Each structure stands twice: as structure tokens, then as C-alpha cells.
Amino acid sequence: MENLEKEQIVQDLLPQEFGKQGKIWVACLIALCVIGFIAYCHQLSKGLVVTAMRDYASWGIYISNFVFFVAISLVGSLITAVLRLTDVHWSTPLTRIAEIIAVSAITFASIIIVVDMGRPDRFYNLFLHGRLQSPIVWDVIVITTYFFISILLLYFPLLPDLKIMLKYKDRTSKWMYKLYSFLGSFWKDKPEQFKITDKAINILSITIIPVAFSIHTVTSWLFATTYRPGWDSTNFGAYFISGAFLVGSGGVLVAMYVFRSHYNLKKYITYDHFDKMGKVVVMLALLYLYFNVNEFLVPAFKMKKPEEEHLRGLFTGEFAPIFWFAITTSMLLPILILVTKKGRRPFPAFIAGILVVIGSWFKRYIIVTPTLLHPFLPMRDVPASYHHYFPTWEEWAICIGSLAGALLVITFFARIFPIIPIHETITETEEHEHDKK
Amino acid sequence: MNTIKNKYIGVILLSFFSIVSFAQDAKNDLMLSMGYYNNNNLTQYLVAHAKTKIDGKFQMVPDVTVKFYINNDSAATNLLGTAITNDKGDAVLMMPPSAKAEWMKSAKHTFAIVSTASKLYDEAKATVDVSKAKLKIDTTDDKKLIVTLLELKDTAWVPVKAVDLKVAIKRLDGDLNVNETATYTTDSTGTITAEFKRDSLPGDKEGNLTLIAKVEDNDIYGNLTAERVVKWGSKFQYVSQFDRRTLFARRGHSPWWLELLAYAIVVSVWAVLIYLIGQIRKIKQLGV
């Protein structure tokens, strides 16, 4: 990082008002959310019959979307916790980006699962009659826990920044000032306060890792504990976690590029960050590719009769275009792009990140739906249309609306709070300068 | 030229209508058969079965209306009732009380079934002759079954020899032979003796087992059964699994190890979170 003055850092990193592009972006996201909400109201009034989900494909793109959100949320634990605990400092400017991605994704994961229930008013039954033996109950527990840890992990490092923002009253609106005062007016930069905060962040960094692993392992168990072709695997927890870290890192690459360009943060999110993050993505893509080989090659080698239809559907059948698209875009192309130094420049890395995120969404679709269409015991006397699944406009609208909602949360957060930690950046710059002397 | 063309059109139309009319007239043969059943000398009923041959394969015919008669296949007074065949081609008619007078007239009867003609099938008929007979089960203290087949001759029940019958124990999904012998043949006294070799077979809570003797598809007597309850089974003590703590149990009955593990994890993680929220309070106090 260049030798930057403290004041310059603050000025650069304070939240900025939306420009013209920002307003268009927010308007588009709000429009998508509204369309999604209208579709959901339609689903609420007519019931889940408006979806394409039937007796065979009882989980459609809602659950694919849920798994995607849970997966991308894991990046919070990777960037904030794993890299912090291993004393990796280059990730400091990325921690808040990763945490807000985690918080928004986990929020919409919870929302989308309620959407999939059809009758949200029956959600309380899960608490009244839920069984501790059920992975669904574990999922609710770990998602709630992970959400709170992520919020705390976002809040504690924000405290010193709140004090800085309170100093710049002229740069903030009235309600934002009130919000900053409510959240952090008590922060006085006292050494005792820093001591407590550092300790809390360390505790949270340690706590979030097993919880993050649990959240996605439990999500994988929702599938793996069901005896079906494609899901009947002992490998599912590790397979899901490796995929989750990959999509989360891809998401961070995209967010890094967008914030860097839009907020002019080139001094803070440098080529070096893209280079290092690109290497992380390559490593995770290779790891996920390895698990994919395990998941598909071993059953395909044995080709047990009940698995055959499912696997042939993926490799050469109905789902082959999506399957190969997902494998290519989420793993192969990003590896090819990011494995070279030129590929780890901001723009190519951004493209690779986009590919990872889009491919990973379709990968979740491939995990959920084809298996449901090929059960071990075929159902009798069901209409022929039940053997296929293609989402209705309501499902698309709700899913796209939820993705837009998650982006909207990130956008508003970046508008209200500094997306790169100001205080930590100043401290690290000062330490850097001190080391130089 | 036009005349020739018109002739061709006429021939084509004629051929078409002849095919259509042939297709409309073509009916498959409906084959009816019937069985007489007397369960435990209490319940008597008749089962009609309708089938047809399509593309060289027998197929069951549902929705065929079948009339059941006793001793005459047309008189309204001899009509026992009407039934419609189900998906398996079977139509069942319980013997009505109104048939008692006709039943008591003779020791032998002829039952007839007649299906009414429909668009698909012509009228079909079938008959079966039945001699009145009954089975009787006796048991001895040394767990032997003595089964006797008796036939009504005029007014007296006489033993019947050389008839195959089976002796079994009634179970939930079928009958279990009392020993390795599947079928017995009655001797000159109309009886068979079978040894009960199913010791320790679970019965009800009193140890009751239901023995059953069966004559199946006999040309003269039809299908007969007789039952007798004996205390030869082991007493079955039902132990409810409902309250057992298992992974598949209901809410609040999960295994102890799971409860301990799950709650320990949840409590410890949330204790940390609550502690950290307490730390926020502490930071606040330091800033006042």
C-alpha cells in the first residue's frame, strides 16, 4: 500500500453517496425485488401449485437458491476467520466485503426457505413440533447462530470506524448520524475498549469456523441423509464446503472489482489483492473439482442400475447442457483464467469471479433437481409432466428477486458504512511505516 | 375420365365404410367362470370371473354386469343378485337370505352366471355344480388335528374319501402349514390326521392360534374352509416401541447422546455469543 496520510485514508474510505450509476443500479434491484414480491404474493394466494414443483421435483430452484445462499455466506468465515487466525494481513481490506456478503446471503437463505414452505404461517410448527433428530431443525439452529456470529463479526470491527464517521457530520445525513450515534457513540478509542474488541474478534473468528462448517455440512445432510441416487454419499459435507468456499471467494472477487471501480479504491484494493485472491480461487476450484470427480466418477464407474438413469441424465441426457455448463463455468474456465498472472489482473479476475458465481448457482440446481426426478422407486400413476421440471415465472421472479435483495443489502451497507475498515487500514499503514523506519 | 375417377372414389369410400362397420361389429369373446366358496361353514358366496383374449393374451375385464342364478339361469325367482366386475375381472355376490328356501330344497345345486350383452361383448354364461359339504376340525391333547370332510346325502352327512385338503395356521399375510406336508388326502372315513409341529409360534396375548382346513377348487364341493382356535401358540407380549429413544422416534424422544451433544454444542456456542454481547455492554460502560 502506498504511503497514505491518515486524513486521506478517511476521506477515501468514508461512505459515498450514490451517483447516477448507483441510483440506476439501486432502482433496478428494487424493481426486481418488487417483481419477486408480487410473484410471492401470487404464490401465497394461489398456493405452491403456481410453481412447477410436483410429486417428483418437490424441491426446485428455491432450494437450489437456498443452498447457493448458504454456500456463498461461508466466505465470511474464510476471509475473516481463517485468514485472520493464520495471520494473513493482506485480506484486511476484504474482511468487511466478505462479512456483508455473508450476512446478506444468510438472511436471504432464511427467507427463501420460508418461501419454499408455501405456508409461512406454519413455520412456527417447526418450533412446536420439530424433532431434534431432524437435520432441518439443525439447519434452523446453525443458520440462526451463524447469522448472529456474522452480525457480531461485522459489528465489533465497525466500532472504531463509527467514531470516525461521527466526526464527519457534514458527510452524513441526519438519520445516518443518528444510526452511527446509536451504534457507536460510546466508542472513545480507549485501550481497554480495543483490548475487549480484539479479544471478541478473536473469539468470534474461532467460533465461526466450526459453525460455518456445521451450517454447510448440515445443509448437505439434508440431501445425504435421504436415500436417493446422487445424494447417497458419505462425501457430501466436504463436497459442499469446498464448493461453498469457492463460490464465496468468487463472489468476493466480483465485489472487490465493483467496489474498487465504483468507489475508486484502487489504492486499497490493489493488483496484489486480486493476485492473491485469484490464487485462492484457483486452489478452491481445484479442490472442488477433485470432490466432483469423486462424486461422479466413482458411481459412474460402478454404474449401479438405480444410479444409471440419474448419471446418464447428467452426462449425456436431459441435464447434460446445464451440468457441463456448471462444471465448465464454475471450475474449469476460472482455473484457466486465474492460473496465469495476467489472468489475476482485476478485470479478468472479475470475469472469472462472475463465471464462478453463475456456474455455482447452476451447480446447486444440478445437485437438487435431477436427483428428485430419478428416485429409486418410481411413483405410480403420475401425469407425464411430473417427470420433468422447469421453473414457472413465479419461481424465477422470486429467486431473481431474492438475489437482487441480497445485492441490495450489500449496496445499502456500502452506502451507510465504510466497505473497507478505516481504522484497521490506518493502523496497518502506520505499522507499515513504523516497520520501514 | 371423370367417370373413372368417380368410380375409384366410390370404391375407396365403400372400402372405408366396410372397414368402419366391420370395426364397429368386431367384438371380443367374453369368457366367464365361477367359483363357490363356503368359509368356516358360515359365509357362502360366489365369485364370477370375466376375462377375454386380446392379441393372444388373456386380460381381465372390468365393469361387466353379471347376474347370479341358482338352479335356473333365467327365472327371476332364481335370481340371487347382480354384481359388477372389478379391475381384476372379479364380481362377488354373498348368498342372500332370500335364497334359503331354494338352497334347502336339495343337496346339490347348479349356480349360473349370465353377463348382459354390451357394445364390446356378447352375452356370456357359465355354470357350476356344487354338492353341499362341510369341513370339521377336531384336535387332540397331543397337538394333532383331525379334519373330516362330510357331504350331505339326502338328509345325512356322510364322510368323503380321496379329496385333497390343506391344514394350516392362519397368519397375517397368508397361511402357514402345520408341518412339512403341504396337502393331505382324506381316507375312507373322510378324515386326515396332521401333527402340529409349529411350537413356540407367536399367538395372541393368550397364545391363541387359528387353525384352518381348506378344500380348494374342488370340482364337486367348490372351496370350503373350517377354522378352530387353539391355545398352542406362545403368548405374545406386546412391548410398545413408541416411547423408546431412537433417531426415528417422535419429538422429545431423541437418543440421550444426541440430546446431550446437540444441546451442549448449542448452549456452549450461544454462551459465547451472550458473553460477547456482555462485552459490548462493557465497552459501552467504558465509553461513558
User: Over the stretch B192-205, which tens digit does the pLDDT of each residue have?
Assistant: 999 999 988 999 99
Q: Which three cell numbers stand for residue A167?
A: 466526526
Nearest to A130 among B251, B272, B276 (CB): B251
CA distance B249 to chain A (A): 8
Task: Establish if A38 belongs to a structural domain.
Answer: yes
Report yes or no: A284 and A74 within 8 Å, Cβ to Cβ.
Answer: no
Nearest to B251 among A131, A186, A193 (CB): A131
Backbone torsions φ then ψ of A312, nearest 5 degrees: -65, -35
B270 contacts on A by Cβ (under 8 Å): 145
Report yes or no: A148 and B273 within 8 Å, Cβ to Cβ.
Answer: yes
CA angle in degrees (0–180, nearest 5) for A282-A283-A287: 115
Half-sphere exposure of B101 (CA within 13 A, CB side): 4
Check whether residue B98 and residue B137 sit in a common domain.
no
Nearest to B269 among A129, A132, A145 (CB): A145
Question: Among B245, B256, B268, B272, which would you mutate to test the A interface (most chain A Cβ atoms within 10 Å of its Cβ)?
Answer: B272
Check whether residue B110 and residue B160 sit in a common domain.
no
Q: Which residue has the cell 466418477?
A: A297
Report yes or no: A229 and A307 within 8 Å, Cβ to Cβ.
Answer: yes
User: Under an 8 A CB cutoff, do B272 and A148 touch?
Assistant: no
When the pLDDT of each residue in chain A is averaged and rounded to a whole number, the result is 92
User: Under an 8 A CB cutoff, do A132 and B258 touch?
Assistant: yes
Task: Establish if B242 belongs to a structural domain.
Answer: no
Instruction: Report pLDDT for A1.
Output: 47
What is the average per-residue pLDDT within A39-44? 96
Report yes or no: B179 and B197 within 8 Å, Cβ to Cβ.
Answer: yes
- Bigger pLDDT: A92 or A340? A340
C-alpha to C-alpha distances, A251 to A75, A105, A245, A386, nearest whole angstrom: 8, 11, 10, 35
User: Under an 8 A CB cutoff, do A133 and B259 touch?
Assistant: no
Task: Give percent of chain A above pLDDT 90.
Answer: 77
Return d(Cα A109, Cα A403) in angstroms, integer. 10
The count of domains in chain A is 1
Task: Establish if A2 belongs to a structural domain.
Answer: no
Task: Establish if A358 belongs to a structural domain.
Answer: no
Report yes or no: A248 and A290 within 8 Å, Cβ to Cβ.
Answer: no
Instruction: Report pLDDT for A2.
Output: 46
User: Under an 8 A CB cutoff, do A192 and B250 touch?
Assistant: no
Contacts of B257 (CB under 8 A, 6+ apart): none
User: Under an 8 A CB cutoff, do A196 and B254 touch?
Assistant: no
User: Under an 8 A CB cutoff, do A207 and B254 touch?
Assistant: no
Task: Establish if B243 belongs to a structural domain.
Answer: no
Among residues B183, B208, B230, the one where a domain terminates is: B230
Contacts of B54 (CB under 8 A, 6+ apart): B28
Nearest-CA residue of chain A relative to B268?
A207
CA distance B245 to chain A (A): 10
The yes-or-no verdict on residue A44 having pLDDT over 60 is yes
The yes-or-no verdict on residue A430 having pLDDT over 90 is no
Task: Establish if B41 belongs to a structural domain.
Answer: yes
**Residues A405-420 pLDDT 10s:** 999 999 999 999 999 9
Q: Which of residues 217-256 of B touch A (CB under 8 A)?
A: 247-251, 254
Q: What is the CATH number of the domain that holds B195?
A: 2.60.40.2470
Query: Where do runs of H (alpha helix) occur along B178-255?
Result: none
Is the Cβ of A215 closer than 8 Å to some Cβ of chain B? no
Report yes or no: A150 and A248 within 8 Å, Cβ to Cβ.
Answer: no
Q: What is the CATH number of the domain that holds B93?
A: 2.60.40.10
Domain that holds residue B148: 133-230
**Residues A150-167 pLDDT 10s:** 999 999 999 999 999 999
Nearest-CA residue of chain A relative to B283?
A193
B247 contacts on A by Cβ (under 8 Å): 133
CA distance B62 to chain A (A): 18
Intra-chain end-to-end CA distance of chain A, in Å: 16
Backbone torsions φ then ψ of A235, nearest 5 degrees: -90, -5
Task: Establish if B279 belongs to a structural domain.
Answer: no
Q: What is the pLDDT along chain B (288 residues), one digit of tens a residue?
A: 455 566 666 666 555 555 544 444 567 889 999 999 999 988 899 999 999 988 889 999 999 999 999 988 778 888 999 999 999 999 999 999 999 989 998 999 999 999 988 888 888 999 999 999 999 999 999 999 999 999 999 889 999 999 999 999 999 889 999 999 999 999 999 999 999 999 889 999 999 999 999 999 999 999 999 999 999 999 988 888 888 999 889 888 999 999 999 999 999 999 999 999 999 999 999 987
Task: Establish if B269 belongs to a structural domain.
Answer: no
Band the pLDDT of A103: cuts 50, 70, 90: very high
The count of domains in chain B is 2
The three-class DSSP label of residue A367 is: helix
Question: Among A127, A128, A131, A134, which would you mutate to test the B interface (most chain B Cβ atoms within 10 Å of its Cβ)?
Answer: A131
Report yes or no: A360 and A247 within 8 Å, Cβ to Cβ.
Answer: yes
**Residues A252-272 pLDDT 10s:** 999 999 999 999 999 999 999
Is the Cβ of B286 closer than 8 Å to some Cβ of chain A? yes
Return d(Cα A211, Cα A146) in angstroms, integer. 6
Check whether residue B212 and residue B125 sit in a common domain.
no
Task: Establish if A349 belongs to a structural domain.
Answer: no
The yes-or-no verdict on residue A365 having pLDDT over 60 is yes
What is the average per-residue pLDDT within A159-183? 92
The yes-or-no verdict on residue A51 having pLDDT over 80 is yes
Domain that holds residue A426: 19-228+395-430
**Closest alpha carbon to A310 in A390, A223, A231:** A231
Instruction: Report pLDDT for B223.
Output: 96
Instruction: Report pLDDT for B9.
Output: 63
- The top-scoring range by mean pLDDT among A213-217, A352-356, B54-58, B155-159 is A352-356
Return d(Cα B93, Cα B80) in angstroms, integer. 8
Check whether residue B64 and residue B95 sit in a common domain.
yes
Return the number of CB contacts < 8 Å for A and B.
62
Check whether residue B104 and residue B144 sit in a common domain.
no
A130 contacts on B by Cβ (under 8 Å): 251
Return d(Cα B126, Cα B119) in angstroms, integer. 20
Instruction: Report pLDDT for A429.
Output: 84
Check whether residue B75 and residue B168 sit in a common domain.
no
Q: Which residues pair with B70 in a beta bridge?
A: B111
Check whether residue B124 and residue B167 sit in a common domain.
no
Nearest-CA residue of chain A relative to B262?
A132
CA distance B286 to chain A (A): 7
Return d(Cα B146, Cα B139) in angstroms, integer. 6
Is the Cβ of A114 closer than 8 Å to some Cβ of chain B? no
User: Under an 8 A CB cutoff, do B276 and A204 touch?
Assistant: yes
Instruction: Report pLDDT for A321.
Output: 97
Check whether residue B111 and residue B66 sit in a common domain.
yes
A138 contacts on B by Cβ (under 8 Å): 262
Task: Establish if B109 belongs to a structural domain.
Answer: yes
Task: Establish if A359 belongs to a structural domain.
Answer: no
Task: Establish if B281 belongs to a structural domain.
Answer: no
What is the average per-residue pLDDT within A374-397? 90
